[in-house]
Amino acid sequence: MWYALMQKSLCYLNLAGKGVVIMTADILEERKKSIISSDFCCHGDGKGISCEKVSVSGSVSQRACVYCGARVVLNPITDAFHIIHGPIGCSSYTWDIRGSLTSGSDLFRNSFSTDLKERDIIFGGTKILETAIDEVVAKHDAKLIFVYATCIVGVIGDDIEAVCRAAEAKYNILVVPVKAPGFSGTKSQGYKLACDAIMKVIMPAFDGSKIPGSINILGDYNLSGEMWIMQGYFQRLGIKVNATITGDASLETLQTASKSVLNIVQCAGSSTYLAKRMEQEWGIPYIKVSFFGIEDTSNSLLRVAAALGDEAVMKKAETMTKIESSKLQDFLTKYKPKLAGKKAAIYVGGGFKAISLIRQFNELGIETVVVGTQTGQKEEYDIIRELSSPGTIIMDDANPSELETFMKEKKADILVGGVKERPLAYKLGVAFCDHNHERKHALSGYDGVKNFVEEINLSINSPVWELLA
């Protein structure tokens, strides 16, 4: 491994070659390529932002690990046993912190682990895992078990695939291994593993039959009931939803997935891979959708209807989107003055959501001045750049120091982010809206627009800010 030059570096932004220093920031040499201004690149070679890389050692990255990626995608499967094979930490930190709502089993809201101890590390944890699975099956009516391998299992070499195969043979139930040691890549790798695991669950039920006009919803985790909102819209349009992946999912609903004629992908980062696999396997096409904001929600509904090619549904969709958008106009008219001239900063997990948020803010007359993602992809950053007004700062895998610097420079009034960004925003005197898995109100769909606007208004215009000297 080679060492990059580790000196404090000043980042100069040339405005059309005039040599004007717009801002300076203490940025690690290795990070410079991951931060650009929407109208010019920091290092001036026009190559676009550097992204989809491993985080720099020593930077306070907000990202998590491979296991985390796999866990957040699979966690909402309501009636599965999620057994985490490793020391206690990985399971205790992911115990019921997701906010996915269930209409049925709340089994997934328990935390199961093999709680590996020193002895198990030395002699191997396979026996413990076997016993744990036995204990689960003996006492509870288990139909679906996921076994997650964590960092240490990856190193000591426990063969969880073998254990799972044996358990499947013994009990005639699905026992799916998820080989997700945290060090083996980035969070995106975890998403892929989760998608592979989901395919393993759907495949046994494939029988070639199709339900015309039916879809699967991928990449929505039913936070605050958002999946239910989407299902409600589709019901009104007469579109049947077979599998919801993975919000409010159960073994039964997951196994209907191969019967759909179309997949719609909400969280592109985590689920596009799954959609691609289903296309490969069963010829099910997919489209990417976003249900954040009026424009995106309406467009998505129209596109789904068009993709299904049903005239009646398309007509219904047109009518519905017109009605719903007009219903919200009065509401927006009331709130726009309160939010006029405000500036927003966005730091979310994936690029697709960032794109939606920029559009949503535009609808409200709020300018996005800083936008960053943990795991955004090249194509997404290109779109972000196009959508942003000149001078917007765009960052990949930012750390709190960078977020702080640019939020202050660009005078952001509100930050949209997740759990680790909230205290940072408040300390800076900046309002905050949680758009991650700690959100308490549905933020998607037309219903979500109301909640989103009310929440950002509440945060920006809270009387508590007056108390700040």
Partner 1 sequence: MLDLTPKEITERKALRINPCKTCQPAGALYCALGVHKCMPHSHGSQGCVSYHRSVLSRHFKEPAIATTSSFSEGACVFGGGSNVKTAVKNIFDIYDPDIIACHTTCLSETIGDDLNTYIQQMDIPEGKLVVHCNTPSYVGSHINGFFNMMAGFIEYLAEKSETCNGKIGIFPGFVNPGDMREMKKIAGLLKADYIMFPDTSGVMDAPITGRYDMYPKGGTKISEIRELGAVRKVVALGEITEQEPCMVLKRKTGVDSDILPLPIGIANTDEYVMALARLTHAEVPYVLEEERGQIVDIMLDASAHLFGKKAAIYGDPDTVLGIASLVLEMGMIPKYMLTGTPIESFNKKAAALLEKYGVADQCTVKANGDLFELHQWIKNETVDVLIGTTYGKQIAKAEDIPLVRAGFPVLDRHAHALQPIVGYKGALRLVEMILNAILDKQDRVCADEDLEIVL
Helices (H) and strands (E) in the chain, counts: 17, 14
Q: In what order do the strands lie in the sheet with 431-434?
A: 35-37, 393-396, 367-373, 343-348, 414-417, 431-434
Cα–Cα distance between 112 and 134 in angstroms, integer?
13
Beta carbons within 8 Å of 187's beta carbon, 6+ residues apart:
63, 64, 65, 66, 68, 69, 349, 374, 375
* CB closer to partner 1, 112 vs 446: 112
**What is the closest distance, in whole angstroms, from the C-beta atom of residue 211 to partner 1 in the complex?**
31
In angstroms, what is the minimal distance from the CB of 105 to partner 1? 8
CA gap 250, 79 in Å, rounded = 6
CB-nearer residue toward partner 1: 55 or 270: 55
Pairing label, strands 343-348, 367-373: parallel
> Least Å distance between CB 329 and partner 1?
36
Q: How far is the CB of 186 from partner 1 (least distance, A)?
A: 8
- We find the least distance from the C-beta atom of residue 8 to partner 1, in angstroms, to be 6
- CA 165 – CA 162 distance, rounded (Å): 5
Strand-pair category, 393-396 with 35-37: antiparallel
Q: Which is nearer to partner 1, 54 or 323 (CB)?
A: 54
Phi-psi group of 185: left, alpha or beta (phi > 0 → left; psi -120 to 50 → alpha; rest → beta): left
What are 287's strand-pairing partners?
Answer: 264
Give the relative orientation of helices 445-460 and 311-339 as an angle to the nearest 10 degrees. Answer: 10
Measured from the CB of residue 408, what is the shortest distance to partner 1 in angstroms?
9
Pick 29 or 386: Cβ nearer partner 1: 29
Name the residue nearer to partner 1 (CB basis): 229 or 424.
424
**Cα dist. 298→228, 262, 301 in Å?**
17, 18, 5
Closer residue to partner 1, CB minimum distance, 164 or 230: 164
Shorter beta-carbon distance to partner 1: residue 329 or 462: 462
* Least distance to partner 1, CB of residue 184, Å: 5
